[in-house]
A and B are shown apart, each in its own frame.
Chain A
Amino acid sequence: MTDTAPDLDRLRGAAPPRNHDARTIAALTSNPGCARRGVMDAAGVDKDAVAQELGFPAPFGQSQFAITRGNAFEAQVKADGCAELLTLLRDGLGLDVPEVAYDDLELVAGNEGRELRHSRTRRLLARALETGEGTLFDHPLLRLEIAGRPAYLEPDVIAFQLAGRLHVIEIKSFAVVDGQAEPEQVAAAARQSAVYVLALRRLVTELGHDPGRVSHEVFLVCPENFSNRPSATPLDVRPQLAVLERQLTRLTRVDAILAELPGDLTFEPGEALGASVRAVEARYAPECMAGCEMALFCRDEARACGETGALGRSVRDDLGGVDTIGTALALADASLTPSDDLAETAAQLQAAARLRAEALQGVA
């Protein structure tokens, strides 16, 4: 672990490490085969800034209407010491929530330091675990080790203690209509919640308790149907937890990737930036567009190289391992004699070309 730290710092150049939040940590699981992303994330490189510098700014703008709506909904749920939330937990889910104490861990008198806030979170949760006191802990500041360094997690969840177990409550502003929500949005929420569950479990373990006291069942609070009224849905995040734990251990394999890279590599802004980024192999797939700041750069690179993968994973799969479009087309029209490895793929492509030509004959 510590071996990679200096190299990772150098990669980032003078820039401070970018803070992780649950979103960025959850994103680590979305394309784990990508060395470029792995190295940049491990080093805490600001990928957004790098993409901008390279002329491929990430297309992840947010509408102020969405932001306003999200904030308003969260404020409403949490108003008056989470009054609406409690009603929801009691009446909506039928939970036996006896007495209520609400602690907002964001408020630390006169000092907003993260260490201080984290230690306050520790202290309050330690007491809660020992005495059962406290019900809702808003904005807990958690910490998770990412590639050997602690990352603080931006607090936008509530830890909820019920019958000696802690549950994560995640407030999201996408609608649940007749019990259904956009599966991609639910998946993203589940991945983020899993990060909080994991961080809470690490904390609980540090405090000498059974990590099982943090439940894998989180509560997703969303607007119901077309209204502003919140609804709560239990969500089992065990699959996301398993993936996350796997990928966090895997981040340590970044050493192996670093070992192959030139010693003076850096992602500092400047003329060499493009070459530096290209020095670390990417594994671009169109799905990257949904979540990685580097996606447009990588797509451009993949297209320039004629990578079959730029057309989608299934296309590359259909081509049985032929990486470039030029090779595949040359195999299809038999202008390239295939190596033994590719004989079968070539035969299939030639058959495909023949069948297409035959079917299109009458048309053209």
Chain B
Amino acid sequence: MSALTSLARLEAVAAGAARPLATVRHCHVSDAPLVLVPLKLAGEAAAPLAVMAGSERDDPSLLVVPQPRNRDLRFAFAADLAKLVLNHIETSHGAVEELPPAKDGEERIRYGDAPQFLVPNRGGVAFLRLMGRSTRFRSTEGPYAVDPTVPVLGRWLTWFADRHDHPGSSLLGAMTELLRLHWATGQSSLEDGNLAALMGWIAPPDGLDGPAAAARAEDPVICPPAGPATDPTFDNEVLAPAVAAYDRSGPGSRAEERLRAALAGQLTPTWDLMWQAADLLRALPEGASVPGRWERDRDAFTYYHQTFGEAYPQARRDPPVRAARRLHDLERAQDAYDAQRAFDDPLVMAEHRLAGQAFGGVVTECDPTRLDETGKRPKLRPHLRVETQDPVRLDPGATVCNAARPALKGRIMEIEDGTVLLELTGGMGRKLTPEPGAVPQPGDRVCFTSLTDGSFGAAKFPDREDTPWTHGGPPEEYVPTGEDAKEDWS
């Protein structure tokens, strides 16, 4: 949060409608994402109750566990969900693109597209993660055999949930998070966790303003929760009797139909909101670095898809080297994502300007051919004076780059009374005169920032078998056991 975001919230209160926090879209939105709206049984870690899923707005599939405490029904549900999810994965990755070989000569390929999963909220992500955990170790043979697709589903769900932790990844999106990245509402972030209330501020139903729509959204009778937790009143008054009736009547009964209808009634409003929200996001122009990040997502997907057959299910917890490596990856991704969003979007850059780590204004003086001749060889070091109203909080000597063209680098020489004197140090070509158009001219509007686009390089880590004694030495290789396969799921 910053004063800028906070001001946007205040403006939203005054306007009775959400206010933009972004001028471009910072996430990828697929043409046909797999929307998943899961519900779980109250009181259980990850006992599925129902899911509404599909990649077409008009054609949702409803999967239900009519007696959520029945283990066989749960695995039947998992197998159905697996078919749906795996089918989506296999049909949405597009064609294989051949890439130039890697440095070590290895062949590289990338799928032209990748599946995208969308769930309503962070709880949905957590549910998929646990669902993945509870199914990926299952055995497809022996006394506790499950459908062969079940452990495959578990591994994919786990993979997508892990990918959600990756800053800037769009493979698994929580809709409330995606919306909050682009709009500020007149309610707190806690209330923004309610998809219907959040959408109420951004795109209220006809005849309502933001606050009225949000208030309506908090009534679980009108707007059932977006899951995975259900409304306790629904549980007590509708679900419990319906499950009891199913218990008495069995599969294929009208009782089962009534149960499905009741759950459909809970899920459909959220389903509709998900597609409406996806439309809102699509309507925003795409940020310049979004395709690049989606390409990284496709790379990650391609790698996992290609190596799926050789790999074991993901371990319960990351062993030491894996954990350190993953943290490093996440931190690099976070750095790059933060910077890219600012370079893509003047409204995000405005946050940095307000914080004094960037400044924008008009060039008042320019000496584009100035040379620094103190060293052995002269160097091209143009001077630029920028007039700015921004509260600059950079120290002299700080390195900055041009927001519009990050290759153009400079150093702060002095800051006084609303002007900043910059010495440009790079990004103007190799000669002693700058390339045409490289140096801003007087009258140009410019923005310079201390953010850097290039993230730090990838680090070296020991191999797993070289895990040092400080970290307990090499961990035992994980091999699935029968113990895993028969783990209770009650």
Residue ranges of A at the interface with B (Cβ–Cβ < 8 Å): 61-70, 173-175, 177-179, 223, 225-229, 286-287, 289, 306, 308, 310-312, 314-315, 318-319, 325, 328-329, 332, 347-349, 351-356, 358-360, 362-363
Report the Cα distance A120→B391, complex, angstroms.
69
Q: Name B188's contact: one of A178, A310, A363 (CB within 8 Å).
A: A310
7 contacts between A and B (CB under 8 A): A62-B232, A64-B240, A225-B134, A311-B188, A332-B10, A356-B347, A359-B346
Given A62-B232, A63-B236, A319-B6, does the pair A360, B23 have CB atoms closer than 8 Å? yes
B13 / chain A contacts, CB cutoff of 8 Å: 306, 311, 325
B240 / chain A contacts, CB cutoff of 8 Å: 64-65
Report the Cα distance A178→B130, complex, angstroms.
11
Given A329-B10, A332-B7, A349-B7, does the pair A178, B46 have CB atoms closer than 8 Å? no
Kindly state whether residue B9 has any CB partner on chain A within 8 Å: yes
Check if B488 sits within 8 Å of A225, measured CB to CB. yes
Check if B43 sits within 8 Å of A355, measured CB to CB. no
Given A63-B232, A311-B9, A315-B9, does the pair A227, B130 have CB atoms closer than 8 Å? no
Chain B interface residue count, CB cutoff 8 Å, equals: 57
Kindly state whether residue B11 has any CB partner on chain A within 8 Å: yes
Check if A226 sits within 8 Å of B317, measured CB to CB. no
B20 / chain A contacts, CB cutoff of 8 Å: 360, 363
Given A329-B10, A360-B20, A363-B20, does the pair A68, B43 have CB atoms closer than 8 Å? yes
The prevalent SS among residues of A at the interface is helix
Report the Cα distance A179→B233, complex, angstroms.
32
Closest B residue by C-beta to A180 = B317
Kindly state whether residue B187 has any CB partner on chain A within 8 Å: yes
Extra pairs beyond A64-B235, A347-B391 (8, CB < 8 Å): A61-B231, A69-B42, A226-B130, A310-B187, A315-B10, A359-B346, A360-B23, A363-B23
Q: Name A286's contact: one of B190, B354, B489 (CB within 8 Å).
A: B190
Kindly state whether residue B1 has any CB partner on chain A within 8 Å: yes
Q: Name A178's contact: one of B42, B43, B133, B490 (CB within 8 Å).
A: B133
Residue ranges of B at the interface with A (Cβ–Cβ < 8 Å): 1-11, 13-14, 20, 23, 41-47, 68, 130, 133-134, 186-191, 230-233, 235-236, 239-240, 316-317, 345-347, 349-350, 353-354, 360, 389-391, 487-490
B14 / chain A contacts, CB cutoff of 8 Å: 325, 329
Q: Name A225's contact: one of B3, B23, B487 (CB within 8 Å).
A: B487
A332 / chain B contacts, CB cutoff of 8 Å: 7, 10
Check if B487 sits within 8 Å of A352, measured CB to CB. no
Report the Cα distance A308→B490, complex, angstroms.
46
Given A311-B9, A318-B3, does the pair A173, B353 have CB atoms closer than 8 Å? no
Check if B487 sits within 8 Å of A226, measured CB to CB. yes
Q: Name A356's contact: one of B4, B44, B46, B187 (CB within 8 Å).
A: B4
A360: shortest Cβ distance to chain B, in Å?
7
Check if A311 sits within 8 Å of B186, measured CB to CB. yes
Q: Name A355's contact: one of B4, B47, B186 (CB within 8 Å).
A: B4
Given A61-B232, A328-B10, A356-B347, does the pair A312, B43 have CB atoms closer than 8 Å? no
B389 / chain A contacts, CB cutoff of 8 Å: 351, 354
Q: Name A312's contact: one of B4, B188, B360 (CB within 8 Å).
A: B188
Report the Cα distance A173→B233, complex, angstroms.
20
Check if B10 sits within 8 Å of A69, measured CB to CB. no
Check if A178 sits within 8 Å of B316, measured CB to CB. yes
Check if B347 sits within 8 Å of A227, measured CB to CB. no
Given A174-B45, A329-B14, does the pair A355, B130 have CB atoms closer than 8 Å? no
